Amino acid sequence: MTIITRIGTELYGLLASIGRFAVGALASVGAVAAFAVKTIFRALTPPYYPGRLLAQLGQLGWLSLPVVGLTAIFTGAALAQQIYTAGSRFSAQSTVPAVVVIGMVRELGPVLVGLMVAGRVASAMAAELGTMRVTEQLDAMATLRTDPFRYLIAPRLFASMIALPLLVMIANSIGIFGGYLLAVYKLDFNAASYLSVTRRFLELDDFVMALVKAGVFGFFIALMGCYHGFQTEGGAAGVGRATTNAVVSAFILIILSNLLITVAAFG
């Protein structure tokens, strides 16, 4: 009986831990969903702050171009080299331009841009809003009858959803160009035939999917950055936790939503 009782106690403790984790996870999902609904509702009702929107577009879009461009061109070139190396085993080197353009536009471009911008932007949003929370600046704004959701969060949300598709289009172009440079100047592809194959395999649906993914990723990046920054507590240590949580949660949502969109489109 002692052994059975001990096993039952340990099993009960394990199930209780699993239950607490599940309840906590569901509570977190519910809190994020409620925050998202409140943000969208406030963002769609006046007053609006176009100046804040333009400022955030500069921060999110223009200042992210260098890291996005470098990531895209190196990824496109590396992808071309890998496809050529793998294809040479089956005498399929000619597939390099087709695979590069499809891989960049459908998957690598949106995902890499989303992850790079999330690392740069979600952390900045969480740090800025978290600092404002722990220094009671958000409470002061509410006291002055300035809605933090409309003044701080809505411009970031709209700017992220606008800037990400533009960055993805630029990254796709740069990535395809990177593959072209390596294929033509290192792998001895004919430039005209490479561009011809690229144009033939690039379809409008691929661009549409990339833009849809970018818009969704932009929403999640701004949502996670603002949510964790808005919920910050505990001083400087709390700001650090909020920054880390914002980046990690944005990464997870980007990867998960990318899978769901891909399966929905091609499944």
* Pairwise CA distance, residues 138 & 149, whole Å: 10
- Provide CB contacts within 8 A for 255, sequence distance 6+: 111
Alpha carbon distance 246, 117 (integer Å): 12
pLDDT confidence of residue 97:
86
Average pLDDT over residues 20-46: 81
Q: What is the pLDDT of residue 39?
A: 85
> What is the pTM assigned to this prediction?
0.88
Average pLDDT, the chain: 87
- Which one has a higher pLDDT value, 90 or 196? 196
Q: Determine the pLDDT at residue 169.
A: 93
Q: What is the tens place of the pLDDT at every residue in 223-244?
A: 999 999 888 887 788 888 889 9
Beta-carbon contacts of residue 146 (< 8 Å; ≥ 6 apart): none
Reply yes or no on whether the pLDDT at 85 is more than 60: yes
Q: What is the pLDDT of residue 32?
A: 81
Rounded-to-10 torsion of CA 127, 133, 135, 141: 120
Q: What is the pLDDT of residue 2?
A: 67
34 pLDDT higher than 90: no
Q: How confident is the model at residue 75, as a pLDDT? A: 92
Using pLDDT thresholds of 50, 70 and 90, give the confidence band for residue 267: low
Q: What is the pLDDT of residue 194?
A: 86
133 — pLDDT class (breaks 50, 70, 90):
confident
Residue 1: pLDDT above 60? no
d(CA 131, CA 243): 11
Q: Which two tokens stand for residue 51?
A: 């100046």
Residues 151-173: tens digit of each pLDDT: 889 999 999 999 999 999 999 99
Q: Among residues of the chain, what percentage have pLDDT more than 90?
A: 34
> What pLDDT digit, counting tens, does each position of 187-229 carry?
888 888 888 888 888 888 888 899 999 999 999 999 999 999 8
Instruction: Give dist(CA 132, CA 232) in Å, integer.
Output: 9
